[in-house]
Amino acid sequence: MGTRRILAGGIAQESHSFNPVPMGRSWFNVCAGVEAVAAARGSNSVLGGIVDAAEAKGVEVIVPTVFRAQSGGPVEEAVFEEMRNLMCDAARRGDFDAIVLPLHGGMLTPSLEDPEGALMAALRGIVGDDVPLTVGFDLHAHVTPEILARCDLLAGYLTNPHGDQGRTGQRAFLAALNMLEGRLRPALAAVHLPMLTFGNDRTDEEPLLSLHARARAAVEAGEAYDVSIFNAQQFLDVRGLGQWVLAYGNGAAPDGLALELAGTLWDRRRELIGTYPPLDEYLDKAARGTDRPLILGDQGDRVAGGSPGDGTYVLRALLARDDLPASAVPIADADAVRACRAAGVGAVVTVTVGGRYSTVAPPVTVTGEVVSAGASAQVVYDGPADAGYRTTLGAYAVLHVGRVNLVLTDQPYSYLDPGYYRAMGIDPARMGLVITRSGYHFTLNYAAVGQCVTVDTPGMTSYRVGELPFVKARPFFPLDEIEVTPRLHARGGALP
């Protein structure tokens, strides 16, 4: 037998239905071929896990294309079409044994509620049902009946904050390999629950900690081959939004396990709703002085949750006080970046920033000195989450406004990793206060830098979801008090 080959590629982005800024191609990091394989090798990403696991087994990985962007508004149709055409062209060449897709799940385009399902359907249409097709998804993916019908095994991250991206890719790859070698015949038991989690949904804390421990024990004991528990991205106004428990058996579906896990999730649903401390509490703390920098997640304007990243709520609070240490706060504002870059480093400029799309606080006019500016800065993630991942920033400028380092960028970023700040000349370890546009994931990658806290701020990604105009996703708990008896989803069937 010659060398086995797998096809791996696709698109990874998480969309927010209420973010009005469409995501175009320039927002994506696009890579292909040996360059994509080399970039992924050894990195803690889904593709990295696929590549490392495949190469350890002597399997060659073909990457027709991989599009990756941060969360944001729906992705422009042409971007999705370009990716799908590249993947389908490669699928038609047929020079591979299985397909393993590193995706995110939970993306939107203006016309598609489930583009990942559409990609899988297109690939199945070309290769048929006999070629193993497995997928790695983020834990916050929106899973659909279409996806479950088209893939042989869907593996989701098992950690939030996410630290097992590589391991997820490895699970997806090994399932495909085991199928190819006749050791695995995946049989799915799946349960959907019309509910969302809001805030108390870390997997290293209760109630999810013991739920995942039970799932892991079941896999280790051979009760199931693989289990994923999906906590859907909360800002998707799509039909069938909710939680999914997927338990795959080898030959026989572990129905009882899936029902048990889903039953626990439903019974403990009220515990999954959390609260965050107010911003002022932590600004007061910073004013009193801390041993280590305070790293604050701006809950209401989390780019990691799909927000536009131009919210001024925190910036206003920082500028309103004169007792705070040096701070770094980001705002996405292409016009302000242009003005600062035109004035040049060393110039004193007056610009009006932010508040265009994140409208809970109005734009702010500031005067400050441009201390750095540029474009195409390289970010390398320290990790542990996504350690080694490389991405390139667009244009940026840093403005000193008193003790505030106002970090202006032409696109929004989540600041999940301190590498973002360092790329623009700011060392987060030397700040007293650092703002990120993330609610969970930054806590892993800034743990070595300072104390990480997510604060309650208003905005498009705050968990005050009753303020958002959901239509298609309803009814769901906790916006709607509904009666649910968890039951098995018939593979290929519609939602109950």
CA–CA dist 358, 354 (Å, integer): 8
* Nearest-approach distance from CB 176 to Zn ion, in angstroms: 23
Give the residue with the Cβ less far from Zn ion, 178 or 231.
231
Which residue lies nearer to Zn ion by CB, 8 or 304?
304
User: With respect to Zn ion, which residue has the nearer C-beta, 162 or 356?
Assistant: 162
CB of 249 to Zn ion, least distance (A): 26
Smallest gap from residue 456 Cβ to Zn ion (A): 20
Contact 20, 137 (CB under 8 A): no
Q: Which is nearer to Zn ion, 74 or 486 (CB)?
A: 74
Q: Which is nearer to Zn ion, 65 or 159 (CB)?
A: 159
Are 166 and 45 in contact by the 8 Å Cβ rule? The answer is yes
* Nearest residue (beta carbon) to Zn ion: 140
E-state strands within 29-104: 29-31, 60-62, 66-68, 98-102
Contact 325, 431 (CB under 8 A): yes
- The nearer residue to Zn ion, 302 or 341, going by C-beta atoms, is 302
Q: How far is the CB of 251 from Zn ion (least distance, A)?
A: 31
181 DSSP 8-state letter: T
Q: How far is the CB of 442 from Zn ion (least distance, A)?
A: 12
Least Å distance between CB 139 and Zn ion? 5
What is the crossing angle of helices 165-180 and 46-56, to 10°?
40
Number of H helices, E strands in the chain: 13, 22
Least distance (Å) between residue 364 CB and Zn ion: 30
Q: How far is CA 396 from the centre of its chain?
A: 23
Q: Which residues bind Zn ion (CB under 5 A)?
A: 138, 140
Phi/psi at 99 (5° precision): -120, 130
Using the minimum distance from each CB to Zn ion, give the nearer residue, 228 or 405: 228
By three-state DSSP, how is residue 433 classified?
A: strand
CA neighbours closer than 13 Å in the CB half-sphere of residue 101 = 31
* CA angle, residues 425, 428, 433, in degrees to nearest 5: 125
CA 427, chain centre distance (Å): 25
Of 108 and 184, nearer to Zn ion (C-beta) is 108
For Zn ion, the closer of residues 71 and 327 by Cβ is 71
Sign of the alpha-carbon torsion through 25, 28, 33, 34: positive
Shortest distance (Å) from residue 49 CB to Zn ion:
16
Q: Where are the alpha helices (DSSP H) in 104-164?
A: 115-127, 145-150
The count of residues in the chain is 496
Closer residue to Zn ion, CB minimum distance, 16 or 140: 140
Measured over the CA atoms of residue 215, residue 70, residue 102 and residue 238, the dihedral's sign is positive
Judging by beta carbons within 10 Å of its beta carbon (0-12, 13-18, 19+), is residue 93 exposed, middle or buried? Answer: exposed
* d(C-alpha 336, C-alpha 398), whole Å: 10
Cβ 172 to Zn ion shortest distance, Å: 16
Rounded least distance, CB 357 to Zn ion, Å: 22
